[in-house]
Structure formats: structure tokens, C-alpha cells
Chain A
Amino acid sequence: MWFRVEPGRGVPIYIQIMDQIRRSVAGGTLAPGEQLPSVRDLALQLAINPNTISKAYQELEHEGVVYTLRGRGTFVSGQASALSESDRLKRLDESVDKLLVEAYHLGCTTGEVLGAVKKRIKDREASKEGADDGRQ
């Protein structure tokens, strides 16, 4: 499995990898139960420190995105976040802030922003149901 690693972005590499795994899980390209590459294999492939991969996996496990079976590997959990409510809301605020910067420059009204968010949620749910039907 390949992830984009950008040194020199000012963002720790373990966070860059966590973000991509989170996005793939949320978007459905990584399915619950799927196994992630071993620390060693991924470190070699991406040419980064194995400790960095371990840290990304550990943090994702702490968040409940993945789980680890000793001696077997790391798997996508497909469950809701294990983060505390305050951590979850803080993370959500940060993402909303990014959205609001874009909305400000596009001159969007509050109604347009809320409408777009609701529409995207519906689209995602529909496409996930479609994918689930396809798997059955």
C-alpha cells in the first residue's frame, strides 16, 4: 500500500500517514477488517523510519480507527472514533475552520454552507450503501 509522504511540509510524517489512512477508511477504499501492511514493509516501501509507521498505527489504534492483533497485524476497525468527546469536537472545529476559510473567499452564505454539508453527507451515505450492496 502506498501513501504520499512529504518531508518539508512542516507536518510530522506520522500525522501525514494517519490522515491518509483516516481518509481512505472514511471514503470506503479501506474496508473494515482489512489488514494494513506490516510496519517493516511499509517503512521500506516509503523509505521512512519504522518508528514513524509504528507511531501512526499506535495513534490510529488509540483513536479506534484500527486495531492490532498481536503477532497477526493491524486491521481497519470500522468503528466509531474512540476519542473523547472534547477531542472529537476539537478536531471537528479545526476542519470546519478550513471549510469556513474557503466559504469566506467564495462569498457563500450560511445557508449555502450548511446545505452543501448536508448534501455531501447524503451523497456519502448513498455511495456507501451502494458499495455494501455490491459486496453482498
Chain B
Amino acid sequence: MMADSEKAVLVQGLTKVFGGQEVLKGVNLEVPGGSVFALFGPNGAGKTTTLKIILNLLQPTGGKIEVLGMDGVARSQEIRSKVGYQPETPNFYYRARVENIFSLCRSLYPRWNQARVDRYCDIFDLPVRGRVSDLSKGKMTLLGMALAVGPDPELLLLDEPFTGLDPLRRRQLLQLLVEEMAGEGRTILVSSHQIQDMERIADRVAFMVRGRVILSRTVDELLRDEKKIRAAFSGPAPEGMEGWPGVRRVEREGSRLLVTVSGQVEEVAGRLSGYDGAACEGIDQTLEDIFINYAGEGLING
């Protein structure tokens, strides 16, 4: 196993051009070994493309990729044998039986661990003798998950692993992911829209918007540092607050101010309370609030 300080995935200045359109515009990502890393972003932000390039299923246009300490392009074969990948839309042979897919994988991966796959199938109630084409959307997702852990991977790449799952299956999947990280310290990189599910298990999150990673922090840091402060004044409200250190945004609510702060929360609150008759309250933000703050241009404002 790799030491915590090592990077399981290192992406620097990654670009990708599809048909003349730049879909990745210099992506930077550092996923520490042994961590659970959540990638959030609106549809079309480039999350799936980034994951595919990490596995070298797509060629990068420019930039550097290192996976488990190996060059992502030159040593892609070796990387693939150590990475479990759950694609967003699995590309199975629909007429095959589930067990036929297992035998195929066994022949492709030298370290294939069928006992683990069987355990996942058991927990997920997957019909091993059934045909892939008969699986529901949720079962298809779960089959993708069972296949992803088959190679006993050092790194799991999961693309929307909660698609089509009911609350019970979601909880089972979360528990299995906890098991994966508790037992052998695997690194897990997940792209997901399920911000609350990911908050349970993620050490770190990154927000991806229009082909760039705009923010990458630990979950605890984000919840600690990203706040809003509502302030009312009996005298005139402060001017030019946008220039204060730590202030990201200032909105007016009548005579009150709603200030979005990033870091330096106490400093901003202290400075505000120096104004005439100032009353301030701090407001916690959820991960989803924070994501929408950073990613949400084009929202409708009331």
C-alpha cells in the first residue's frame, strides 16, 4: 500500500479537445493515496472525460497524468490492471449472462478475485445466471460496481455509482465503500451528483465547472471556512466590502447585507461589528450551498 502522503492520482494542466472544442481546459487534481475523493460538477463539466483519461481510455490532448506513481500514458496497461473502474454507462454485452461477463473478466485480469465479486453479487441480489438485458437500471449500476472491485484494485474510479439506486441499495453501497477504505486503505475517486451521500464518505471534494477544477479542499475545511454573515446596521452600512479579505460576495437584503465569506470568517465578522449599531449573525452553509455558490452562475435570483 502507498503512504498517505503519496498521490494516487496526479493530474496537471490536463486538456482535451473533441472535434475542435476544448472540453478540458487545464484540469489540476491531486488525489492523496488512501483517501476518498469526490468530484462534483454540473453535467458536461468534464468529470467523465477526466476519469476516462486517467484510465487512458481516452488520449489527453495536453498535460500530465500520473496514476499510482506511473505515467498515465506510457504505463497505461499496468495502471489498468491495478484500477477498478465503474463506467457511467456500462458497455456490457446485453445478451450475455452475468456469469459470462465474470469469466471474461477473469481471463482479462491476472489478479481477478471472484470471491469478492460473488460477495458483492450476494449483497446486491444480482441474478448471476440472468441475462444482462433483463437487469434494471439500478442492478446494472450494481453489476458495474461488483466488476470494479474484481481486480482487487489499489484505486477505484467510480462514475455516478448511485445511479438508479433506492435508499437501501445506496446505504449498502456506502457501507461497502467504507469497508473498502477501512480494510485496505484503497483510494477511491468518485464522480457523483449525490452530494449528501458523498459527504458521508469523502475526505476531499473538488468542484469541476466547464472543463476546470475551480476548488479542491477537505470536506471539513469547506464546512468550517465557507459561511454567510447577515448584518444589519443602525447607521450607514460599510461600503466597498467586496475588497475585504475573505469576502466573496455581498448581497443587499433591503438595508441588511448578506455577505458570503471564504476563510477569515471571524475577521470579517469582527470588522463588521465595528460599525454603528451592527448586529451580525453567522450562517452555516451546506456542501450543496457551497457548490452552488461556486458553480451556480446563471441561477434565477428572486
Contacts and interface: CB of A to CB of B under 8 A. Distances in A.
Nearest to A9: B286
- A: interface residue count bin: 20 to 34
Interface in B95-153: none
B223 A12 contact: yes
Given A49-B201, A50-B178, A8 B223 contact: no
Contacts of A43: 178, 182
Given A47-B200, A47-B201, A49-B203, A10 B174 contact: no
B171 interface: yes
Contacts of A14: 220
A12 B220 contact: yes
Interface residues of B, number: 26
B200 A5 contact: yes
B200 A8 contact: no
Nearest to A43: B178
Given A14-B220, A44-B175, A44-B182, A51 B285 contact: no
Nearest to B199: A7
A48 interface: yes
Contacts of A49: 36, 178, 181, 200-203
Interface in A1-42: 5, 7-14, 39-40
A63 to B, nearest CB: 17
Interface of B: 36, 171, 174-175, 178-179, 181-182, 195-197, 199-203, 219-220, 223-224, 284-289
Question: What are the nearest 9 A-B pairs in CB distance?
Answer: A10-B284, A7-B199, A47-B174, A7-B196, A8-B196, A10-B286, A48-B200, A50-B182, A49-B201
